[in-house]
Amino acid sequence: MVSRPGGQVPGVTAGTEGLLLHLTTPPEWRAALATGTVTPPSLSGVGFVHLSSPEQVHLPAERLFAGRRDVVLLVVDPARLTDPVRWEPGVPGDPASMRFPHLYGPLPTSAVVAVLPWRSGTVPVPPAPGDAVGRARAMDVSLRTRRAARVVDVRGGYAVADPAFPHSRDDNRLLVTGALTADEVEERAAELTAALGWQAPAVTLLHPDAGPVAAELARRGWDVATTLLMARWAPFPAAADGPAEVVPQSDVHALWERSWRRELGPGEPVLEEVVRQLVDREHRNDRVVRVVDVAVREDGRVVAAAQLRVDGATASLESVVSDPAVRRRGLGNAVLDLASATAGSAGCDLLVLDAAADDWPRHWYARHGFTETGRTWDAVRRT
């Protein structure tokens, strides 16, 4: 463990003391996920990787990335580093008494417990390594902002928009990370809907105390759904020999299309266009995180599948689906086991997923070692 000089830092959440940050861009981070290490030019140039504490990261950020929106903060747990970290002077212009942490070796992606959007003018508050819900929320926000065609900073959160996929509310919504009131949420959602051309105001409430706000929005006529954040910690069992295999994502498209058609129902207008957009949007995730699709085939057709998204030491499980005709045959277990084993082999210590609070899969995940760690709320304004 590398300790930070100077004692306790005011305003830092308990459990996060000692965490370090590294500035990078989404393409550079995605390249590191493919190799397992972050190796910036400074490593070969001066022999170390530049790191910062949360309260000093604004100095290199404003010097190196002034005015840029496409910058992320890698949250590094020093306890997971094997090479030394030394606190040394910065560059001319930095406060003379300030020391910066320098990692004398490559940065393992498995030491990165979260990835945060860089936001000028704020002191980042990273989640603690043992905070499953904080890490899950960080991944949710960071993934959506990294892949978005447009990101708008608003007080209390972020707005994401992608005009190429107007039917995807996941890509056109307000992400509320702060403690906003229902009035503030409605006001911001209305303004953003008009400015960004959303088809309807859509909001995700990510603040842990947002339950009463969600209930108030429901009373005001919003459609509100509660999502459980579920998590499982390593170690993950090795995948046994079975029917599941890693497949190209395109092989799963037909299964996704069948699933979306069942979910949307025959009364949904422009059904085929909605399904097309929901499938076509998925390729963007692999641009910013490492995506692994696992599936089971029968007679050459994919009948069960799941997607694993690896983002440093945190992985999320998405799109677990199987055809109704093959359910209760253990195929879901097979894809879940392979996805979990893949997360372990990638160096992840935490696997997270979202489950609807009012649907049966949450019980199935619980039987596989996932526990509820928190809740979020999705709300759409009825038209």
Domains of the chain: 20-127 (3.20.170.20), 130-226+372-383 (no CATH), 235-348 (3.40.630.30)
Under the banding of pLDDT at 50, 70 and 90, the label for residue 269 is low
pLDDT at 148 over 50: yes
What does the H/E/C string look like for 207-254? CCCCHHHHHHHHHCCEEEEEEEEEEEECCCCCCCCCCCEEECHHHHHH
Q: What is the mean pLDDT of residues 163-169?
A: 92
Structure tokens at 246: 């890693």
Mean pLDDT over 304-319 rounds to 97
Give the pLDDT of residue 2: 37
Give the list of residues 6+ apart from residue 251 with CB closer than 8 angstroms, or none: 293, 295, 302
Structural tokens at position 346:
């990638």
Judge if pTM exceeds 0.85. yes
Q: Is the pLDDT of residue 69 over 90?
A: no
What is the band of 268 on the pLDDT scale with cuts at 50, 70, 90? low
Residue 366 and residue 353 in contact, taking contact as beta carbons nearer than 8 Å: no
319: exposed, middle or buried (Cβ count in 10 Å: 0-12, 13-18, 19+): middle
- Compute the average pLDDT of residues 334-349: 96
Q: Please tell me the predicted confidence (pLDDT) of residue 290.
A: 98
**Is the bond into 235 cis (omega within 30 degrees of 0)?**
yes
Question: Six-digit token pair at 220?
Answer: 């005001």
1 pLDDT band, cuts 50/70/90, is very low
DSSP 8-class letter at 11: T
Q: Three-class SS of residue 111?
A: helix
Distance, CA of 136 to CA of 147 (rounded, Å):
17
Confidence of residue 15 (pLDDT cuts 50, 70, 90): low
Local structure of residue 81 (DSSP, 8 states) = -
Per-residue confidence at 121, pLDDT binned at 50, 70, 90? confident
pLDDT tens digit sequence for 239-260: 778 899 999 999 999 999 999 8
Asked if pLDDT for residue 383 goes beyond 70, the answer is: no
